[in-house]
Amino acid sequence: MLKKYKKVIFIISAILIILQGAIFFYFRETLVPGFDILTWPIKVMSIVLLPIYILLGIFHLVILLELLKCIPSQTKNPFLLSLGVVLVTVSGITLLSDITILSDIGKEYLYFSVTNEWYMLFGFTLFHFLSLLYIYLISRRLEVEGIKFTDAIHSGNDQMFLSLYQIVGISGFVGFIVTTLFLFNVVDFLTYQSYLTGLLLMLSALVLLPVFLFISYWVIKFRKIAVETWFDELQSRLTVQGISWAMLFGLLTGALGIFLSIIGVTVNLVYWLLMMFFIELTIISVLVILKTRVK
């Protein structure tokens, strides 16, 4: 389906996103402090935004399901597909963030500066566009024919196993970058530490969402199959090896953390723990991916 209708889906999505951006631009210019009269163009555009979001949400969902279906038969370039799954999931969930930010702007624009909110909205809009463009570009290379997702589990499908760890790896790496930025105070535009910690927890949850969704999809599809057959014996061994190395790393960095606290270096514990968690996820997936190469 994705291959067949990719042009239609992409063209409609691109038009919707451009329209969305134009509406945001108009709103940003019009909705200024002291302007409390909602003119008819503003009302019409607000109504237009709702179907745009619904359509974009449906497209994201359809694309995500189509990408998941491709995983078992994707023998070439499985990383492109895994990256696509992560991008579409995050882009889809940030559609909800857009609505939250718009609602915040609606409540606050009369009294506060909402410049940062507009930047976030434009950033997310660009992200939606780039994610869909990426899917459009890779859809030519997708191998849709072959094994069905539901049949693949019986033989411990290599592509599914690899995709799982690629998704974990991408999420882990992005999470590591985000937490590092917070740990080294690159991100400190908020006044209160508690808000900053809350923001990092929210971003971490967002980063982990593709992993959660992929595992949920896996569990739902294979709920009737015994858990011990989800991975074959080599895959289980690679997983345990990866976890063991990651735990060893955790142990060593834990010792480093104790040493740092002894010599008086203070770090935010939440940031530190989250960063370690994401590094460990990255280590597990990199080790497993490196050993999963099949010629």
Partner 1 sequence: MVMIMKFKNNLRQIRFDAEEMSQQDLADRVGVSRMTIYSIEKEKYVPSALLAFKIAQIFDKKVEEVFYLETEKDVETNAKKI
Contact footprint for partner 1 (CB under 8 A):
154-158, 161, 229, 232-235, 237, 292, 294-295
Q: Name the residue nearer to partner 1 (CB basis): 7 or 154.
A: 154
Alpha-helical (H) ranges within the chain are 2-30, 40-70, 78-108, 115-138, 149-152, 158-183, 193-221, 233-262, 269-291
**CB of 155 vs partner 1, minimal distance in Å:** 5
**CB of 158 vs partner 1, minimal distance in Å:** 5
Letter for the amino acid at 229? T
Residue pair 229/153 in contact (Cβ under 8 Å)? The answer is: yes
Letter for the amino acid at 203? L
Residue pair 179/204 in contact (Cβ under 8 Å)? The answer is: yes
**CB of 134 vs partner 1, minimal distance in Å:** 28
Q: Name the residue nearer to partner 1 (CB basis): 29 or 233.
A: 233
Q: Which two tokens stand for residue 102?
A: 């718009």
Report d(CA 295, CA 282) in Å as an integer. Answer: 24
Residue pair 175/278 in contact (Cβ under 8 Å)? The answer is: yes
**CB of 151 vs partner 1, minimal distance in Å:** 10
Letter for the amino acid at 199? L
Q: Name the residue nearer to partner 1 (CB basis): 43 or 291.
A: 291
**CB of 245 vs partner 1, minimal distance in Å:** 17
Q: Name the residue nearer to partner 1 (CB basis): 125 or 157.
A: 157
**CB of 287 vs partner 1, minimal distance in Å:** 15
Helix 40-70 with 78-108: angle, nearest 10 deg: 160
Q: Name the residue nearer to partner 1 (CB basis): 108 or 151.
A: 151
Q: Name the residue nearer to partner 1 (CB basis): 27 or 222.
A: 222
